[in-house]
Amino acid sequence: MDKQINTLHSPLILGDLHLKNRIIMAPLTRTRANNPGHVPTDLMREYYEQRATAGLIISEGTWVSERGQGWYGAPGLYNIEQSRAWEHITSAVHAKGGLIFAQLWHQGSISLSEFFEDGRLPLAPSAINPLQMVHVKDGLKMSEVPQEMTLSDIQQAVEDFRKSAQFAKDAGFDGVQLQAGYIYLIMQFLHESTNQRTDLYGGNIENRARFLFEVLDAVLTIWPAERVSIKTGPMLNEQGIFKAVPSTLKTLEYVYNKLNQYKLSHLLLMRQLADLNGTPLVALQGDDVLNHARKHYFGKIILNVDIEPDHAENLVSSEEVDAIAFGREYIANPDLVERLLIGASLNPQRPEGYYGSSPEGYTDYPFISHIPVFNS
């Protein structure tokens, strides 16, 4: 690995926050809150504290309500007990000089009735099985047909995001990020294959995007725009029914263009690992997803997914992107910033520890001071 001491390690201003570097910790579901109340644990505090040298930590997805759950072991951020537990984590990160955003998450149809004590179906824009695997206690299960949300359900979901944003502020987070990407509730409203409503939340692009912007407006009653970010991007997952259709690109561009009105902290954008050939998103392969976004969204952009350190440095130094979010690299390297600074090798990944309940594969990766270091 070449020595990385240039732009990645330079400061960055996001809104009114001064980041000490442009190496961002991406949101990573790690399932260590496997208790009945979905309460963050002291083990989670240690995990985030270890990684506080990141320019910014974006927390794992946190459920905005009991209704929003759908992944065994993920934490919540919708009651006082959870908020106080998160406060221990944010305080630890701040004590180490770090910054941390909470990612607000509602899984919608990517859930199962077994997550709910009364056995009710998960909620979604339409009663359509997304045909996705759901993480349960003992492995994976196929999703089921959800319950179509009533207008009252939609209003309640918007309010749930607002309340969770307040709990995040009470917990001492530096800001919040909306999970409006991949295959979860907000994307389920945006995507035609999962939203076949005929009311104000379905049909044309403006209607399908209505829920996203109502949620954003609600969160902005709690936080200033410069402390709010959004994760969204290409609406493609070539599994189940999340497949690109002719309107997918237009929907994406509509969202980007409208987001410009908000002056948010940043957009977290994901590169696609899937082969986009033969799809309406073929022009968004690799870094072209960034080039496309830059034509429509004019705020700060953080790029994520499958970016090697040398490539990251080139992207940032050429001002193509403002910062890079690392995911798996941060799982295995709590001191990623320091390793990149001196050109040290990275710890090997241990995928068997990505999800679980123990420190193994979570907080037991060695720091640079515990292993041989080399400079190139």
Amino acid at 171: A
DSSP assignment string, 48-83: HHHTTTSSEEEEEEEESSGGG--STT--B-SSHHHH
Contact (Cβ atoms closer than 8 angstroms) between residue 39 and residue 76 = yes
**Cα–Cα–Cα angle for 289, 23, 177, nearest 5°?**
65
In this structure, the chain runs to a length of 376
What would the mean pLDDT of 140-162 be, rounded to a whole number?
98
Catalytic residue among 47, 72, 78, 184: 184
Contact (Cβ atoms closer than 8 angstroms) between residue 241 and residue 193 = yes
DSSP summary character for residue 298:
-
pLDDT at residue 235, as a whole number: 64
Residue 84 has pLDDT above 50, yes or no: yes
Give the pair of three-digit tokens for residue 10. 């330079």
Nearest to 208 by CA among 200, 216, 217: 200
Q: Is 228 exposed, middle or buried (0-12, 13-18, 19+ CB in 10 A)?
A: buried
The beta strand positions in the chain, using DSSP E, are 12-14, 17-19, 23-25, 56-63, 100-105, 123-124, 133-136, 139-142, 147-148, 175-179, 228-231, 266-270, 301-304, 323-326
User: Which pTM value belongs to this model?
Assistant: 0.95
pLDDT tens figures, 313-330 = 999 999 999 999 999 999
Share of the chain above pLDDT 70, in %: 95
Q: Return d(Cα 367, Cα 371) in angstroms, integer.
A: 7
Q: From residue 249, how far is each of 21, 197, 280 by CA, in Å?
A: 32, 20, 7
Write the CB contacts of 314 (distance below 8 Å, at least 6 apart in sequence): none
What would the mean pLDDT of 254-278 be, rounded to a whole number?
92
pLDDT tens figures, 281-293 = 888 888 999 999 9
Place of tokens 């201003």: 13
Residue 190 backbone dihedrals phi, psi, to 5 degrees: -70, -30
Q: From residue 86, how far is each of 25, 91, 93, 231 by CA, in Å?
A: 17, 9, 11, 21
Residue 3 has pLDDT above 60, yes or no: no
Question: By three-state DSSP, how is residue 259 classified?
Answer: helix
Q: How far is CA 319 from the centre of its chain?
A: 23
Question: 119: alpha, beta or left, given left = phi > 0 and alpha = psi -120 to 50?
Answer: left
pLDDT at residue 226, as a whole number: 98
Give the pair of three-digit tokens for residue 250. 């237009």
Domains observed in the chain: 7-370 (3.20.20.70)
Write the CB contacts of 284 (distance below 8 Å, at least 6 apart in sequence): 234, 249, 272, 276, 292
Give the pair of three-digit tokens for residue 318. 């050429």
- For the chain, helix (H) and strand (E) counts, in that order, are 11, 14
pLDDT at residue 158, as a whole number: 98
**Pairing mode, if any, of strands 175-179 and 100-105?**
parallel
Q: Return d(Cα 163, Cα 364) in angstroms, integer.
A: 34
Positive or negative, the CA dihedral 292, 293, 296, 298 is negative
Average pLDDT, the chain: 93
pLDDT tens figures, 181-232 = 989 999 999 999 999 999 999 999 999 999 999 999 999 999 999 999 999 9
Give the pair of three-digit tokens for residue 64. 């905005």
Question: By three-state DSSP, how is residue 170 classified?
Answer: helix
Write the CB contacts of 219 (distance below 8 Å, at least 6 apart in sequence): 104, 161, 162, 165, 176, 178, 228
Instruction: Tell me if residue 365 is catalytic.
Output: no
Question: 152: alpha, beta or left, given left = phi > 0 and alpha = psi -120 to 50?
Answer: alpha
